[in-house]
Structure 1
């Protein structure tokens, strides 16, 4: 969507960044920082993390060629630690600081640049001018050496830009500047209006087959439903919104911002135009496209739940270190509850599909031994050292604050509805009003639940959020009209393993606590090469088989109660005797009573 140039000069900004393509082949962005009135010993710092992704990522590792000048003369820059510098400059005289950023991380968290596209977050690109964070900040996006035909998309307010979007943008402060990522390239672009607000959607990495109109319409329905959820017919707390989606060969993820989001999906997940003559039935959403819509719904819901309603500890971000909170079960977990639920309420999936998605989340938690060791509150606090550092022992020692948090939300919602006193929808809106769309504490959640539910929920929150026992989700779902059954668990789960399968065979990724694999002595990293089976009859020889897929173990075993796994570990061949365990079970949900389900799934009382 083209933007017309503005005839007037933008408001004066105390701090100005100019970012341009320096060398796409070398993946280098050029950055110039202009400080109108620096201090005598002006300090600069690059954030070590990006809000929404709770891991210290050391963005300064990609900064290079840092130098400073005043009136064209060099100024000494002294590095203080891994991410801070001090300029020994003359106070009050404009200071310019230049550097390059190596941009070759295709995730939504940092910066990327090649000949096909560019993307950057301010946290990995723009040095913070310490002491001037609350003053206006300007971003000038230059073409530099950008290829012909590139455009720009960002949530920042344009003040003087050309038709492609290159030019000047203004932020009220540093927080706003770094909360508005920038997409550059030859991307598909479309727009729609939701509750009077213009939403722009750009997609990079897709082909001409992209059904952009369907993507826009489905996203519009999600946005309309969520704005109405929070505000009824009232105004949303933002004036514009930008979706930035990059389609890749193999990727998935998203990161929320105050009036935009950066997303990644697989190209195969995108909607495709129907060939001429195809029937409308072919429009049924693929599993991949449903997953993408769920991601869009998740990140958009964050516009309220974590970008505005947010932990008290995030009232002012500290970009220099970890910002701890025990509330990610609420901000990520409750958002994970509502993301798929809004697909149902927007009419993009049916009841059966929603329950299939919910089944997946339930089984994911039930099949994680760490749920009995770590509470949802502990998982939230430990996100900085555990959630983003997945290892072979992760499922045994941790629980996801996303999935368990979503089930806590489910249980609270169904409890409120079952007792006839409102719903979690009412609690979320009460929190918005109570905290005025700003910082909040767990005590606010408890008060909002008490107000809506007409009793305190301390017992439930103490057990479900701060305890490690299983949640009563299945019982509450049955009372709501959901039919639950138990079926055979997948073979890997049955054996207490998580594996990967490829051309080279079966590799064990994790051994779950208390499972048959652990009892057999299997270990993460083992290559499972084959099995030995006892002779079916005394007169016959024992059997040994090479395997390439885990399923082969089950049918080769037949009814024999034990076998020996042949594995390679550190190039040594080992024999691990394995007792076949009793059949494991997995939960399955289906529609039981559609009339009882309707108020919940469609958003009624």
Structure 2
């Protein structure tokens, strides 16, 4: 009898273990941004089932308060009888169960946050990231899932997930795959192509000044470059989702796809198009870096809490760094265009006083709480630009010390080969990889560049690969107060006051409204108002703070009307040219061979 009881329990557990979680989303009021969700959970014998909606979505390290759009929560048992429930925190609903039963939960979602790329519904489409729509239970997180959409007839649904039995039905191995496989459904363009036996789709929602043929040509070239860094591809099918919007912008990587948003008129010019294709490259690289391997603090994802890591500069910054490597090697971007982008990144770094305060490891850990604005710029860095520049420093250092034989690409190849999910990696793993590749101990380098605010000598660094960081000819010295102001109509309002600069030392701060300089009204911009002065001049600034007119004196500092630029060294040596080719994969611009 005891043996039969054990077998019965095992059979019940086995049946539960392989039961699907079924999701359905019905969109009958798209113009009001509303969708009705129903989730069917397998039979549970627990006293209660905690059902949650994520508090953030992957790829955006910020608590988003996604549960605030949920209404009409209604759980029932297998027979449709209502179940008692209570909400126990901001995104958890506890359903009480008297007897073992399957549970069905219905609720409404308000989805009108396009730019957050988690939930959006309107009369032309819906963008469905499971984080913003579909609740889960930790008890069934690893169970297979299905998704069925009931949407307007003229809509088309596309996802990186496999279709179930119709164009509006999908299946995934578990909730983690579902939450990393968004669905774009609506009135859209769909283009398919095949490269090296892998399937790709480009789905575009919204009208814009984009060139579809150009996008397809460059995406086909881009997706061939994975082997520049890694040994294999982690997918067989990949979807590029593009939103041409009325203002929202940004992008997010996913397991088998990406979503890229740009204002509808920001595709046409070469500069705007490079912004698009660079973003596509960034998200494509994430398919390996973050989606195939990522730091320990993000493994596994905790969807309802902050996920801390001191290595987000690798997850995001190194991804930004590799963008240009793939674009240049594939011929999509010229070396001159690469130099222009690198110039912007370096100058942005040099104009960020926070680089002297916060290290890359600190800004990684604090990504969840780091604020932007004036204080952020003065006292913080960001994981993207800081991580990109540190990746470049490490890459060139590796190439120089190994005569071009080892690069930072080899580090990421090793992370992919040795630390694939569900494993993660930490600082010791990266240092071990560096030592295995070079025979050198990089602990001191790490302490000086990652765990401490990095002090990068760009002249010395770029010289190693035959480049120069210099001010353009004809650049002129101009007077400055070391602050940025925005014209708000009648007055200029300070939006950034550089820590340690002349305005800072004199006592000006953000939101001060500049009225006059030496009693002459300032009515256009700071630059034109300072044209008659020289660096070193002492001036009186009249400004408004708390609706009261005040005055102070400051000494103007020296700035230049043109920033320093990255260019090719016309006198580069053969060694420098060889290191440049090992670095970027193409000939040095001034190589005459």
TM-score scaled by length of structure 2: 0.89
Q: Show CA shifts across 1:399-443 (max 9, x none).
A: 112111111110111111122141112222122222246411111
Contact 1:16 1:137 in 2 (8 A): yes
Q: Which residue of 2 aligns with 1:62?
A: 69
Corresponding residue for residue 237 of structure 2: 240
Evaluate the alpha carbon distance shift between residue 44 and residue 399 of structure 1 in structure 2; reply closer, same or farther with a 3 A threshold.
same
Counterparts of 1:229 and 1:88, CA distance in 2: 51
Structure-2 separation of matches of 1:333 and 1:319: 23
Equivalent residue for 1:4?
none
Q: Does 1:250 align with 2:247?
A: yes
Match of 1:600 among 563, 570, 583: 583
**Aligned residues of 1:108 and 1:264 also touching (Cα < 8 A):** no
Question: Contact 1:407–1:473 at 8 Å: present in 2 too?
Answer: no
Partner residue, 1:198: 199
Q: CA deviation at 1:391?
A: 3.2
Counterpart CA distance in 2 for 1:457 and 1:82 is 44
CA contact (8 A) 2:293 2:424 kept: yes
Give deviations 1:204-236, integer Å, cap 9, x for gaps: 1224x53211101111211111245312xxx41
3-state SS of the aligned residue for 2:234?
coil
Q: CA deviation at 1:173?
A: 0.9
Q: Distance in 1 between matches of 2:558 and 2:458?
A: 24
Cα distance, 1:586 vs. partner?
A: 4.0
Is 2:488 the partner of 1:480?
no
8 Å contact kept, 1:508–1:526: yes
Shift of 1:160: 0.8
Matching residue of 1:570: 546
Q: Match for residue 354 of structure 2?
A: 370
State the distance in 2 between where 1:62 and 1:549 align.
Answer: 42
What are the ranges of 5 or more consecutive residues in structure 2 without an aligned counterpart?
Answer: 1-16, 589-593
**Correspondence for 1:153:** 158
Please give the secondary structure, in 2, of the residue aligned with 1:107: helix
Change (3 A) 1:191 1:550: farther
Quickly say closer, same or farther: Cα 1:525–1:182, change in 2 above 3 A. Answer: same
Q: 1:583 is paired with a residue of what secondary structure?
A: strand
Identify unmatched segments of 5+ residues in structure 1: 1-10, 272-284, 533-542
> What SS is found at the alignment partner of 2:361?
helix
Distance in 1 separating the partners of 2:339 and 2:476: 18
Partner residue of 2:90 out of 65, 82, 107: 82
Pairwise CA RMSD: 2.3
Q: CA deviation at 1:460?
A: 1.2
Distance 1:453 1:206, change over 3 A: farther
Cα deviation per residue 1:24-57 (whole Å; 9 max; x = unaligned)? 2221111001113133412111111112211111
After TM superposition, list the pairs within 5 Å mapping 1:455-494 onto structure 2. Answer: 455-486=440-471, 494=480
Cα distance, 1:369–1:346 mapped onto 2, change above 3 Å: same
Say whether the 8 Å CA contact 1:511–1:518 is kept in structure 2: yes
**Counterpart contact for 1:46–1:128, Cα < 8 Å:** yes
Where does residue 547 of structure 1 map in the other structure? 523
Corresponding residue SS for 2:496:
strand
- Contact 2:522 / 2:529 at 8 angstroms: preserved in 1? no
Identify the residue that residue 591 of structure 2 maps to in structure 1: none
**Residues 531, 547 of structure 1: 8 Å contact kept:** no
8 A contact 1:497–1:512 mirrored in 2: yes
Equivalent position SS for 2:165: strand
Matched residue, 1:5:
none
- Asked if 1:396 is matched to 2:373, the reply is no
Distance in structure 2 (CA, Å) of the matches to 1:211 and 1:359? 27
Tell me the distance in 2 between the aligned counterparts of 1:266 and 1:452: 44
Do residues 45 (structure 1) and 46 (structure 2) align?
A: no
User: Are positions 1:19 and 2:25 aligned together?
Assistant: yes
Given that 1:563 and 1:577 are in contact with CA atoms closer than 8 Å, whether structure 2 keeps it comes out as yes
Partner Cα distance (2:433, 2:477) in 1: 40
The residue aligned with 1:264 is: 261
| 3-state DSSP of counterpart to 1:31 | strand
1:509 is matched with: 495
In the alignment, what sits opposite 1:588?
565
Paired residues of 2:203 and 2:242 also in contact (CA < 8 A): yes
Corresponding residue for residue 417 of structure 2: 433
Aligned length: 558
2:303 aligns to what? 319
- Counterparts of 1:194 and 1:116 in 2: how far apart (Å)? 31
Alignment correspondent of 1:345: 329
Does the CA-based 8 Å contact 2:406-2:437 persist in structure 1?
Answer: yes
3-state SS, counterpart of residue 456 of structure 1: coil
Q: TM-score, normalised by structure 1?
A: 0.87
Deviates more, 1:300-309 or 1:74-83: 74-83
Name the counterpart of 1:216: 216
Aligned to 2:7: none
CA contact (8 A) 1:191 1:216 kept: no
Offset at residue 13 of structure 1 (A):
4.8
Could you tell me how far 1:155 is from its partner in structure 2?
Answer: 1.1
Q: Quick one: distance in 2 between partners of 1:251 and 1:129?
A: 32
Measure, in 2, the Cα distance between the counterparts of 1:346 and 1:13: 45
Structure 1 residue 385 displacement after superposition:
0.8
CA distance in 2 between counterparts of 1:576 and 1:117 reads 55
Tell me, yes or no, if structure 1 residue 496 matches structure 2 residue 501.
no
Q: Equivalents in 2 of 1:423, 1:354: separation in Å?
A: 19
> 2: distance between equivalents of 1:505 and 1:149?
50
Deviations 1:302-359 (A, max 9, x none): 1100111101122211112111110011111111111122211111111111011111
Aligned residue in 2 for 1:141? 149
Distance 1:133 1:100, change over 3 A: same
